[in-house]
Amino acid sequence: MRNIYKDFGIDDKVAEFSENIIKELKPRFEIIDELAEINQLKVISAMQKNNVSEACMLGTTGYGYNDLGRDTLEKVYADIFHTEDALVRAQITCGTHALALALMSNLRPGDELLAPAGKPYDTLEEVIGIRESRGSLKEYGISYKQVDLLNNKDFDYEGIKNAINEKTKLVAIQRSKGYQTRPSFSVDQIGELISFIRGIKPEVIIMVDNCYGEFTEEKEPSDVGADMVVGSLIKNPGGGLAPLGGYICGKKECVENAAYRLTSPGLGKEVGASLGVLKDFYQGLFLSPTVVASALKGAIFAANVYERLGFFVIPDSKEERHDIIQAVTFNDKDKMIAFCQGIQAASPVDSFVNPEPWAMPGYDSDVIMAAGAFISGSSIELSADGPVKEPYSVYFQGGLTFPHVKFGIIKTLQTLYERNLITLK
C-alpha cells in the first residue's frame, strides 16, 4: 500500500497518520457493514417479492403506458420504505423538484404549511415563498409557519403546539442538517416529533425531506409515522448509477396527488416514459446500501482525522450518524481551499482540474466546489463544497467506494501538509 500511495505523491508521515486512525476505526466500521447488510437484504427482499425481471430493465418511449419496469420499481420502493405507494420518476428532475411536487400537490389555497424543526433547505425558501419567487406556494395563497429549534437544539414542543391551528395541513421535517449547523435528526427523534404532532392534530400530513438520510439507519422516517418521504436519486438511493430522478414514497392519496401534479389531472401515474434509465435505477438502488456505508465510513474517517488535527467537525469523531454529510471548519481560507483541491485531485474524473473560489448565483460570497463525478452534480459521489467566508467550513459527502473516500481524505491531508498548513505529530 505504502508504495502505491508513494506513487500518488503521499508522504510516509501522512500515510502513517491515516493508517493509525483507520486501525482504530475498525470496530465502528464493522457496525456499519452490518447496517449495510441489513439494508442490502431489505432491498433484495423487495426486488424478489415484486418479481423484478429482465423485462423490467427495458424502458418505454412516448406516453409510457404500461411501463412494467417503472411500475414495478415503484412497488419495490414502496416495500423498502413500507409505504402504500411510491412515485419514482426520471421526470422528477432533482430533490428540490420532488419536495416542491410533494408540497404543491398536497396543499390547497388557504392551507398552511408548518416547519416544526427550523428553517428548511435553502432551495425550499423559494418554493415556499420565504424568499419572493414566481410560482411559490405563497403566490397560491398557502401560508407558512416556522418553529425554530431551542437553543439546546431540542424541538420547541410548546412553540409547535401553539403554531398548529385549523389551517395547518402539512408538516415538513428535514432529516439531514443540510448546510446548517444543527445536528441531523435520527429516525427515532423524528418519530417522537411525529407522535407529538399527531397527538395535537391526527389528520395532518407529515412529510420528511429524506435527502442524504436513506439507508444510514435500519429504519426510515416512514417507519415512524411519516406520510411521505421524499428524496433525490442522484443522492443515496440512486447508488451513484441513477443519472437523474427523484422519489416520493407514502400514503396512496399523497402519492397520487403528486402524480396528478407531475403529469396531469386524469393521467397521474399512468404516463411518464422511463426511456433507458430503469436498469440504472434498479442497479443503483441495489448498490445503494453498500455505497451509503462507504460514504459513512469515509465521513467518520474524515471526522477523526480532522478532529485530531484540532479542527471543529460536525458530526464529531464519535457521534452516531444520521446522514452522510461531514462538515469541517477550518477558520482559514487557504486550508479550506487546500482541502477541496485535495478531494478534486483524488477524483477519477476531472482530477487535473483545480477548483478555485467563484461567485455563484444565489450566494452572498464566493463558493468553492470539488467534484469529479461520473454523474454531473451527483453528491453520492465524493464531493466537497462550501462558501468561502468565515468560518471557512467545508461540507463533504459521498464516495462510491471506501478505498476512494479514504484516498480522497488522505489526498486532502497531503495537500495541507505540503503547503505547511498542518503539522503531523
> What does the binding site for ligand PLP look like in residue numbers (CB under 6 A)?
94-96, 121, 123, 174, 176, 178, 209, 211-212, 232
Strands 168-174 and 358-359: unpaired
Q: Which residue is nearest to ligand PLP (CB)?
A: 95
Q: What is the DSSP letter of 205?
A: E
Q: Is residue 248 helix, strand or coil?
A: strand
31, 34, 38, 44: CA torsion to nearest 10 = 140
Quote the cell numbers at residue 253.
392519496
Q: Whole-number minimum distance, CB 153 to ligand PLP, in Å? A: 17
CB 322 within 8 A of CB 187: yes
Amino acid at 343: I
DSSP string, 239-260: TTT--S-EEEEE-HHHHHHHHH
Would you say 249 or 416 has its CB closer to ligand PLP? 249
Altogether, the residues listed in the chain come to a count of: 425
Would you say 5 or 212 has its CB closer to ligand PLP? 212
Q: Whole-number minimum distance, CB 367 to ligand PLP, in Å? A: 14
Q: Whole-number minimum distance, CB 175 to ligand PLP, in Å? A: 7
Q: Whole-number minimum distance, CB 218 to ligand PLP, in Å? A: 20
- Helix 278-308, helix 12-49: angle, nearest 10: 150
CB contact set of 135 (below 8 Å; sequence gap of 6+): none
Q: Whole-number minimum distance, CB 84 to ligand PLP, in Å? A: 23
Q: Whole-number minimum distance, CB 18 to ligand PLP, in Å? A: 28
- Residue 173 has φ and ψ, to the nearest 5°, of -120, 135
Q: Helices (H), strands (E): how many in the chain?
A: 11, 13
Residue ranges in 155-208 assigned as alpha helix (H): 157-163, 187-200
Q: Whole-number minimum distance, CB 348 to ligand PLP, in Å? A: 22
Alpha carbons 216 and 376: distance in angstroms, whole number: 23
Q: Whole-number minimum distance, CB 390 to ligand PLP, in Å? A: 23
Would you say 52 or 208 has its CB closer to ligand PLP? 208
Q: Is residue 115 helix, strand or coil?
A: strand
Alpha carbons 204 and 171: distance in angstroms, whole number: 7
Q: Looking at 238-323, which runs of residues are DSSP E strands?
A: 246-250, 312-314
Alpha carbons 82 and 187: distance in angstroms, whole number: 14
Would you put residue 23 in left (φ > 0), alpha (ψ -120 to 50) or beta?
alpha
Q: Whole-number minimum distance, CB 237 to ligand PLP, in Å? A: 12
Would you say 230 or 255 has its CB closer to ligand PLP? 230
The alpha carbon dihedral of 264, 267, 269, 274 has a sign of: negative
Q: Whole-number minimum distance, CB 12 to ligand PLP, in Å? A: 38
